[in-house]
Amino acid sequence: MSPRVVFPNKVLPYLLVAPQLAITLIFFYWPASQAVYQSTLREDPFGLNSKFVWFDNFKRVLSDPGYLNSLQVTAIFSVSTAFVSMAVALLLAVMADKVIKGRGLYRTLMIWPYAVAPAIAGMLWLFLFNPSIGSLAIGLRSLGISWDPLLNGTDAMILVVSAAAWKQISYNFLFFVAGLQAIPKALIEAAAIDGARETKRFWTIVFPLLAPTTFFLLVVNTVYALFDTFGIIHAVTGGGPGRSTETLVYKVYSDGALNQLMGVSAAQSVILMVIVIALTAVQFRYVERKVHYG
Amino acid sequence: MVETPAAVTPAKATSTAAVLGRKEDGAMLGVSRSSRYIAHVILILGIVIVAFPIYYTFVASTHTLQTILRPPLPLIPGDQFFENYSEALFGGVGRIGGVAVSTLLFNTMVVALAIAIGKIIISILSAYAIVFFRFPFRMVFFWVIFITLMLPVEVRIMPTYKVMSDLGLIDTYTGLTLPLMASATATLLFRQFFLTIPGELVEAARVDGAGPYRFFKDILLPLSRTNIAALFVILFIYGWTQYLWPLLMTNRNDMNTIVIALKKMISFADADTQWHLVMVTSMLAIIPPILVVLLMQRWFVRGLVDTEK
């Protein structure tokens, strides 16, 4: 970067960054460092004394079947949510790229769920599909499908994945549409003249050229499924039935806020931090589309 | 995919005229009419899936509790619109301590606006400092702000709660909003934009005697207008849809945001959930952010693609 023309003030810049720095130090770095510190402590059951136990909390967490279960739940939940919402969005975006009339209208009608809070999305789906008053659950039952997300773990998982994926379709749709528009039409038309049919053109030209968008969305959707869907789990299933929908973030919350297991909860927080750092690194290392550091 | 004879196939090698002819009506070469019809059908199906839960919530919000409890619910709105909405908005809901939904809407509006505006102000100031000034620790500050991307609330739930309760910020608007006002994403976005502003402009402003304040107010802010609008839409929705933070920060029913209150209103365990009021509250929780998205669609799409998160 060439040396910029700048203002010569000595004090002003510090005043300008001060609010942001104050907030990050008090509400981000201080609690985060506390989480790291607490993860090495164990409190007695009354919270009166605590002693330093090195990595014992981490050992406990990683050998806890409940934690391994929630790792597995999180993996299933994230992969399914990302896959379903991206697949549906891609299909719709490809279709929207084909039509001539009504493109703008389709887009307008497609972006609503972005504005719906994940927790509300979950509650709407639960309203439609809960076994006692859900109108669509009745439909399922009349088709002979036994369905009860309040008692059956698999059904509960299907419900939360559907709600989480539904909410994310609009976001993915907008990015896929933008990605499709960036593909030079001449390339596709050349293939058409060479006789490649639509399906073939999609898989050999369009899909590979969409790879940067797809990869970017994969990272974003994973982060979404890992963290932003806490509301869905909390509002719809509360991690249940059993522990069939207890994701990692939900477990940190329930161990910490509900069960008051501070050391264990803090150790889980630290593990989550490592996951976020890895994901952010991936995002900025490989998905560096517009952000350049000068 | 279905291809009709009308589609361009190598067998009937197209003349240039035919190619041009197809292009004039805006169609892409090689997309047949029938596959375009199929596209419309799939898109309409997609919209039904996307819109149905919201539509059905609206329908439910206009029926009596008795109708809702005897499914399946009709597909058309009922006649209880005014009764249900005025009961929820002004009457108060028993399950959440008699708090009226209008209070919840007010809280949520305060939270969403404060977070959006606060984030924009704080970020634009720090980006301004980082781009247009040279001072010791400049890059250290930049990285300190950047790294907060990796510390979302979700990974530090309990210690953050401890800090907030030590500071006495539970059940306050400050507690609900201030800690969320730091924003690495917004700072990065403004920094990115400021870097594209030519140095000559700064030079010219300085020659004309403009100090940092005049430059910021008369040149930088007007130039940033579209960025600010785009960011505002994204951040307003971010603030409106917060869940974990208001869940931790509020105990009192009258300090809840509408999303949290909604969660408290629903119970599948007992039969006294007032579903008609739940549905009204859901609609009222959904409509403001949807309006913002639809009315500011152009900036919304821009903001989404620019912030990339």
**Residues in chain B within 8 Å Cβ distance of A92:** 42-43, 46
pLDDT tens digits, residue range A162-203? 999 999 999 999 889 888 888 888 888 888 888 888 888 888
**pLDDT score for A46:** 63
Residue of higher predicted confidence among A67 and B149: A67
Per-residue pLDDT, A173: 92
**Residues 6+ away with beta carbon under 8 Å from A78:** A221, A222, A225, A226
Return the bridge partners of B99, or none: B93
Could you report the predicted ipTM of this complex, rounded to two decimals?
A: 0.85
| CA–CA dist B270, A25 (Å, integer) | 44
- CB contacts under 8 A, A 53-112 vs B, are 88, 91-92, 95-96, 98-100, 102, 106, 108-112
Average pLDDT over residues A132-156: 81
Position B252 scores a pLDDT of 85
The reported pLDDT for the residue numbered A2 is: 44
Q: Is the pLDDT of residue B114 over 90?
A: yes
Answer whether residue B10 shows pLDDT above 60. no
> Which residues of chain A neighbour B293 with C-beta distances below 8 Å?
111-112, 114-115
Q: What is the mean pLDDT of chain A?
A: 83
**CA nearest neighbour of A276 among A28, A63, A17, A26:** A28
Mean pLDDT of B275-282: 86
A198 touches chain B (CB under 8 A): yes
Complete domains list, chain A, with CATH? 57-290 (1.10.3720.10)
B162 interaction partners in chain A (CB closer than 8 Å): 31, 34
Cβ neighbours of B134 (radius 10 Å): 13
Is the pLDDT at B19 greater than 80, yes or no? no
Percent of chain A residues topping a pLDDT of 90: 14
Q: In chain A, where does DSSP find H-type helix? A: 12-24, 30-38, 56-63, 65-98, 103-110, 118-129, 135-142, 153-181, 185-193, 198-201, 207-209, 211-223, 230-236, 248-253, 262-286
pLDDT given for residue B306 in this prediction: 65
Task: Report the pLDDT value the prediction gives residue A4, as an integer from 0 to 100.
Answer: 66
Mean residue pLDDT of chain B comes to 81
pLDDT higher for A131 or A122? A122
CB contact under 8 Å between B159 and A249, yes or no, is no
Q: Lowest mean pLDDT of A48-52, A102-106, A242-246, A263-267, name the range.
A: A48-52
Pairwise CA distance, residues B264 & B256, whole Å: 10
CA–CA min distance B79, chain A (Å): 19
In this structure, the number of other CB atoms found within 10 A of the CB of residue A253 comes to 25
Q: Kindly state the average pLDDT of the residues B75-84.
A: 80
Contact by Cβ (8 Å): A129, B303: no
Going by pLDDT thresholds of 50, 70 and 90, the confidence category of residue A44 is low
Decide if pLDDT at B268 tops 70. Answer: no
CB-based contact B30 A192, cutoff 8 Å:
yes
| B16, pLDDT greater than 60 | no
- pLDDT surpasses 60 at B205: yes
Rounded distance, CA B159 to CA A31, Å?
A: 5
Q: Can you name the residues that pair with A168 across neighbouring β-strands?
A: none
The angle at the Cα of B263, spanning B153 to B258, to the nearest 5 degrees, equals 75
